[in-house]
Chains A and B, each alone.
Chain A
Amino acid sequence: MNERELLDGYLLLGGLLFAIGLVGFLVRRNLIVMFLCAEMMLQGVAVSLVAWSRFRHNWDGQSMVLFIIAIAACEAAVGLALILALFQRSRTLDVAYWQDLREPGQSRRVDRGVPEERREERIWPRLTPAGVMPREDQDKNKETHRARV
């Protein structure tokens, strides 16, 4: 396999990743999924950067990808914290919920809400307090959130 074919393959991969991410970002309304899609676009770009770098025997692209990864990690932390905060206010991950932030005088564009979650599906993770040994669930029979994901 020569260098050129290798490059083509990686660029195709990067392009696919970016396209999937973009489509996902545009069509999904779940905040976390949208966030994942955005990450996917980022990774697609990173892959193509690495590929070009390899092809041109130039380390600039790879070193830039290291920066991108680092920054993506920070961004993920900030983004997830924001999503968590938004969720705690609205109790939903639907991004259409936040269309209430639109300019006054505009009508609602999305009136079809997400399907209501059934009450029995509401199983929330129990977070262990910091510095304490996590305990096993006492009730082995009861479904935990882990089982459902």
Chain B
Amino acid sequence: MDRIGPLLVVIPAAPLISAVAIALLAPRLLRGIREFPAFLTIAAFGVSLIASLLLLREVTYHHDHVGPGSPSFERVVRLWTWADARDAYWQRPALPSDDPRAESPIEGGSRDFTIDIALRADALTATMLVMVTFISTLVAVFGMGYMQGDRGFWRFFAYVSLFVFSMTMLVSASNFLLLFVFWEAVGLCSYLLIGFWYGKPSAASAGKKAFLVNRVGDFGFALGLFLIWTTYGTLDFHSSARVRSDDGGSERRILDSLTTVPAGATGVAWGVLSRDAESYRHGAIGLAICLLLLVGACGKSAQFPLHVWLPDAMEGPTPVSALIHAATMVTAGIYMIARCTPLFTASPEAQVVVACVGGFTALLAALIALTQFDLKRVLAYSTVSQLGYMFLALGAGTFAGVTSGMFHLFTHAFFKALLFLGSGSVMHAMGNVIDMRRFGGLRKVMPITHWTFLIGCLALAGLPPFAGFWSKDAILGAVHDRAHALSGAHAAHDATNLAAHGRERADDGGTRVVEPGEGVWTLWTPEQAAGVYQWLYCAALLTAGLTALYTFRAFFMTFYGARQIPPEAGGHAHESPAVMTAPLVVLAVCAVSVGWFLDHSYQSDPSYLPGGRASSGNVLGDFLGYAPQLAGGAIAATRTPGRFHFDVAAISALIALGGIAFAAFLYLEDRREADMASAFLRFHWYRRMLDADSIARIRRWKSVDAVNRWADRLRLGWLARIVGRGVLVVVWVVTVPLILTQFASPYRLSQDKFYFDEIYDWTMVRPLRWIADLCAALDRWVIDGTVNMVGRIPVVTGNLMRSLHIGLLPFYAVSMALGVLVLVLARTLWGS
């Protein structure tokens, strides 16, 4: 009938076949054909890419033909049923509540626990699929050149294929459990690829670290899933209905965009993400679900406080850093939260938390990135920072916020993959040296890498024509609007709603503020939240400046300044081969064009889509608006005609320009200014003020000398001594900060990543190790000791009996005869 089903199957199937074929064939059978894994992988990814583009076309076609009543489109394809437990869920019918919005009615009665292998096609999935397959195809091409001659050549491509399979399944799963399974699968691939060079201890431990930190997040995610199950009684995204067919047999049918109960339906299960907006849980349960999901997203997307694994993950091969740890896998958390928008809109406090986590992480990571010398580490922290931006956008909780977050995800994938592949190209030429202090002035050596890297940097910094500008501006605008809307709504609320809802508010004591189109605020007033968003907006602007600064610091240190090439390069540093530069060029073209190609808000008046909905002025945003999670419910009520925020754009562009100019001032020509700045931020002036030289200089001052002599003459030496002791105390008070400045000067804080690794080491890792040691000792001495003692009983008894074993047969015979005699006597004397 339509091609969506086969396409959805082909997209993950091709990489899976490639992974299995490479793992089975390459190491043994086809050892002679060195390039076989690469070609197979590229072919499979190409098939997936074409299928994704066709799927995008299908989805667009359906969008153009949706009925006026249902502005959303989704298509769910059920492959088979994985698990099916009858009557697994039972809940009392909801009691009639005073406030229907506070306690949403959950369908009573029993419910089956049914997990389908169900794939879905909608706007979000199609967007993610195109992005993932496109980037992975380019990275596979790049990897063919980069991994040339590596012993694990086939292993690399097998892992990457497996990753793309898992990632495409993750974004097309239509079920929380399936999502979780592939959430773990991408984590596994990430672990395998970080520890790809497992012979290197740092790589092996980085892989373990990534895996373990992700476990923390996944634990939260799993708890969130349990809570969703007990709250909503299903794990499906989509609604489904069991419809009895005409021939009498009962069959289960999944209905797309189910909005009403169909005729003849025997059991309707409203999906978690496609139910009526009124039936979402507010209050503590809703908040808990959202926060647990957020913990999962923080783990996968490297947000504070679980951000520590991503920079270490750069131990993996650079194409992997580009594909998994910059463009695709780390955006799974963003995708998940965007997908769960209905849950988050039901709990505005959770959105504030998401925004705070995102804004704080963005600022923190940008500060750390300022002082790192490892080129890939700078990029890794920039990834963390940009992911923080996306969380901030999702936390804004409006339609514009969610779509701008996804938009930034989309553009970021291109320019961050470009930057990582560019750094891989530099590493390739520099003989795997990645420390920026050891090379420089490479712009003549590697012209293509230089120009494409420049484009990536400009996009990351957010200068107007480049991709990053549009998405970053959209995020800033969304946060700005949200802050204004909240403070405005509060004022309007007092004025109008008091009259209209006066009776209701009097009934429930006026504790709850209910806004149409807004969630239910229970912890904070909208006014307080507006203040939070205002602060986050400022933090985001500051981060924009820092982003430009650290990006161009890395750029200038790598490509400008005195030409310097490390000896590891072997004296033949050169531009990378075409198989590596071609993906760079393609990605650079995307990084230039994808922003203004998709965002039209600057040139058109607010327009309206078919169905009377406001256009956001962004092609991608309008497209995503058809996803059922964004098309209806509370989120749709926040939809406003998109307008270009000239003020926000101008401010952010100016700040970015300022950051670039400052970076140029510090790092372009000689690095004297940079050294001075770093010395200043290390509090060198403070330390110099207190060393012996400067104190001696103070004593030589004429005025001090004069005061001394004057005091002696007036026999006031005791006064001078008291003053001197006072100065001593002051010096002591000052010395403590002096010691602190060794560790806590801004420069050291940034360079040592705010000591997060050390803090976690002392608060988590070491106590856990102590507990483990204690358990090991208990096991060894108590449990094993008991067992060993039981085992020693026969030995002791045997030693006692040993003297009887004299090896003389007659002796044994006599003993036996005497024993029998004793038995017989006993039987005769005492027997019955």
Contacts and interface: CB of A to CB of B under 8 A. Distances in A.
B806 A99 contact: yes
B807 interface: yes
Contacts of A105: 802
Contacts of B811: 109
B803 A95 contact: no
B817 A26 contact: yes
B806 A109 contact: yes
A114 to B, nearest CB: 14
B813 A109 contact: no
Contacts of A25: 810, 813
Contact of A106 (B806, B810, B814): B806
A105 B809 CA distance: 18
Interface in A1-53: 22, 25-27, 29, 34
A100 B808 CA distance: 9
Contact of B814 (A26, A34, A102): A26
B28 interface: no
B817 A22 contact: yes
Given A22-B817, A26-B817, A103 B810 contact: no
A102 B805 contact: yes
A85 to B, nearest CB: 16
A34 B810 CA distance: 9
Contacts of A72: none
Of listed B802, B805, B809, B817, residue having the most chain A CB within 10 A: B809
B813 A102 contact: no
A34 B814 CA distance: 13
Interface in B434-492: none
Contacts of B803: 103, 106
A95 B810 contact: yes
A96 interface: yes
A89 B811 CA distance: 22
Contact of B810 (A26, A100, A101, A102): A26
Contacts of A29: 810
B813 A26 contact: yes
A133 interface: no
A96 B817 CA distance: 19
A87 interface: no
A106 B811 CA distance: 14
A105 B808 CA distance: 14
B816 to A, nearest CB: 10
Nearest to B807: A102
Contact of A103 (B805, B809, B817): B805
A110 interface: yes
Contacts of B807: 98-103, 106
Nearest to A102: B807
B717 to A, nearest CB: 92
Contact of A27 (B805, B808, B810): B810
A36 to B, nearest CB: 14
A101 B811 CA distance: 13
Contacts of B814: 26
B805 A110 contact: no
A94 to B, nearest CB: 10
Given A22-B817, A26-B814, A26-B817, A102 B806 contact: yes
A28 to B, nearest CB: 8
A95 B809 contact: yes
Contacts of A99: 806-808
B817 A106 contact: no
B808 A102 contact: yes
Contacts of A26: 810, 813-814, 817
A96 B808 contact: yes
Contacts of A34: 809
A29 B810 CA distance: 8
Nearest to A104: B802
Nearest to B808: A99
A9 B79 CA distance: 94
A95 B806 CA distance: 13
B819 to A, nearest CB: 13
Of listed A29, A101, A103, residue having the most chain B CB within 10 A: A103
Interface in B769-819: 802-803, 805-811, 813-814, 817
A96 B803 CA distance: 17
Nearest to B809: A95
Nearest to B820: A22
Interface in A63-109: 95-96, 98-103, 105-106, 109
Contact of B805 (A22, A95, A100, A106): A106
A98 B810 contact: no
A40 to B, nearest CB: 14
Contacts of A27: 810
A100 B806 CA distance: 8
Contacts of A96: 808
B796 to A, nearest CB: 15
A95 B817 CA distance: 18
A73 B810 CA distance: 23
Contacts of B813: 25-26
A123 to B, nearest CB: 27
A100 B805 CA distance: 11
A22 to B, nearest CB: 6
Interface string A96-135: 1011111101100110000000000000000000000000
A57 B531 CA distance: 114
Contacts of A98: 807, 809
Contacts of B806: 99, 102-103, 106, 109
A110 B808 CA distance: 8
A91 B247 CA distance: 96
Contacts of B817: 22, 26
Contacts of B808: 95-96, 99, 102, 109-110
Contacts of A22: 817
A98 B811 CA distance: 12
A96 B814 CA distance: 15
Q: Which 10 pairs of residues, A with B, have the shortest CB-CB distance?
A: A102-B807, A99-B807, A103-B805, A101-B807, A95-B809, A99-B808, A102-B806, A103-B802, A106-B806, A109-B808
5 contacts: A25-B813, A27-B810, A95-B808, A102-B807, A106-B807
Interface of B: 802-803, 805-811, 813-814, 817
Given A29-B810, A99-B807, A102-B806, 7 more contacts: A25-B813, A26-B817, A95-B809, A95-B810, A98-B807, A103-B805, A103-B807
